[in-house]
């Protein structure tokens, strides 16, 4: 196991990344990228929106394992307004009721839903061994900023109700999101007072900056599945008329991070979003927030949802799960 497979304090992790020379590409990643190149698929942003969403589900499914069996699931609507928010509650095998985990999916604020992240949430529920609630939020462009942010905030404010539905008798909880979901988790918490915060946020290859180019966007913006044109499409549809530097979206620009919860940051070395994720973790640390970092130097953006092609994803899922279970009540 290399340093990049270990969870380290953020400053130590950054030193290790800076000491690393050259690009590391896992053998399975190389095979996947070659398959993608040979398939010569039409970019999602060139498809009609409805077709792009269907194709996203199809492509995601090709890289996934069969759904793991869990103890039970329950689909629940939350919210007091006209727009009810769909959620799915998972109880994994060996589940205790000591705490709750809320998960917010990725998909560039345009794609994805509870169903498309069902398999990942099942894996987390079985490994964290706590109830997991997956949140579905309104998607752009039908519902541009701040609709998704508002929905995630609503879910946070409904945490007590969700815990009661899950049979959790404590007020201990964690919040987890990947990619766009990681952005929404942190952005929503920054909009809410600390008494509404979880004990832990887990940000998995999060988008943190719409307004600047970075070294990783330059290096990995073509040929690594999440390309520059796709990211630009996501940004345009989600932000609408919002200034890309607005800190409610570009959370890296937020000036008041000190009240953020303790954080586990997960980044992938072959990810255009890697640099901005690391920069956000560093800024949280500088604001006095406890930050641990798991940097997977040889993996791609979105790898946790690609376990059939990238078996290492299961090992990382276990690492994250063990960390959450151990640290959620600290």
Q: Which residue pairs, CB below 8 angstroms and at least 24 apart, start in 231-236?
A: 231/108, 231/272, 232/45, 233/44, 233/45, 233/108, 233/110, 234/108, 234/109, 234/110, 234/180, 235/210
CA dihedral over 175, 150, 290, 16, signed as positive or negative: positive
Q: What is the mean pLDDT of the chain?
A: 95
Examine the residue annotation and report whether 5 is marked as an active-site residue of this protein.
no
Could you say which of 292, 301, 305, 321 is catalytic? 301
Check whether 146 has a pLDDT greater than 50.
yes
Check whether 4 has a pLDDT greater than 80.
no
- Do 120 and 305 touch, CB atoms closer than 8 A? yes
Quote the domain boundaries for residue 100: 3-327
Buried b (16+ CB within 10 A) or exposed e, 62-92: ebbeeebebeebeebebbeeeeebbbbbbbb
Average pLDDT over residues 254-261: 95
The predicted structure's pLDDT at residue 5: 78
CATH of the domain at 42: 3.40.50.1820
- Do 77 and 85 touch, CB atoms closer than 8 A? yes
Other CB atoms within 10 A of residue 2 CB: 12
Average pLDDT over residues 233-253: 97
The predicted structure's pLDDT at residue 1: 41
Could you say which of 179, 216, 260, 274 is catalytic? 179
Average pLDDT over residues 41-53: 97
Check whether 237 has a pLDDT greater than 50.
yes
Could you say which of 178, 209, 271, 298 is catalytic? 271
Examine the residue annotation and report whether 195 is marked as an active-site residue of this protein.
no
Q: What confidence category does residue 26 fall into, taking pLDDT thresholds of 50, 70 and 90?
A: confident
Q: Name the domain count of the chain.
A: 1
Examine the residue annotation and report whether 301 is marked as an active-site residue of this protein.
yes
Check whether 101 has a pLDDT greater than 50.
yes
What is the pTM for the complete model shown? Answer: 0.96
Residue 108's H or E segment, with its range, is: none
């Amino acid at each position: 196991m290399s340093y990049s497979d270990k969870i380290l304090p953020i400053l130590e992790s950054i030193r290790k990344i800076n000491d690393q020379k050259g690009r590391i590409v896992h053998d399975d990643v190389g095979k996947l990228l070659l398959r993608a190149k040979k398939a010569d698929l039409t970019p999602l942003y060139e498809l009609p929106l409805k077709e792009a969403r269907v194709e996203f589900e199809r492509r995601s499914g090709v890289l996934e394992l069969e759904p793991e069996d869990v103890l039970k699931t329950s689909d629940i609507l939350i919210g007091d307004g006209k727009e009810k928010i769909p959620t799915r509650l998972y109880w994994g095998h060996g589940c205790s009721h000591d705490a709750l985990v809320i998960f917010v999916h990725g998909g560039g604020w345009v794609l994805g839903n509870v169903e498309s992240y069902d398999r990942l949430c099942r894996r987390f529920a079985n490994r964290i061994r706590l109830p997991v609630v997956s949140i579905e939020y309104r998607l752009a462009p039908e519902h541009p900023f701040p609709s998704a942010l508002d929905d995630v905030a609503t879910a946070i404010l409904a945490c007590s109700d969700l815990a009661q539905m899950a049979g959790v008798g404590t007020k201990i909880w964690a919040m987890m999101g990947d990619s766009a979901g990681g952005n929404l988790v942190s952005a929503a918490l920054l909009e809410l007072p600390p008494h509404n915060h979880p004990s832990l946020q887990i940000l998995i290859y999060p988008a943190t900056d719409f307004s600047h180019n970075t070294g990783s966007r330059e290096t990995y913006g073509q040929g690594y599945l999440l390309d520059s044109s796709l990211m630009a499409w996501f940004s345009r549809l989600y932000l609408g008329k919002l200034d890309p530097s607005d800190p409610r979206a570009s959370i890296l620009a937020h000036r008041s991070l000190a009240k953020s919860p303790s954080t586990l940051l997960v980044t992938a070395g072959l990810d255009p979003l890697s640099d901005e994720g690391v920069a956000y973790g560093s800024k949280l640390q500088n604001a006095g927030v406890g930050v641990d970092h798991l940097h997977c130097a040889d993996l791609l953006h979105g790898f946790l949802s690609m376990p059939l092609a990238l078996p290492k994803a299961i090992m990382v899922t276990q690492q994250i799960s063990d960390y959450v279970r151990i640290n959620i009540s600290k």
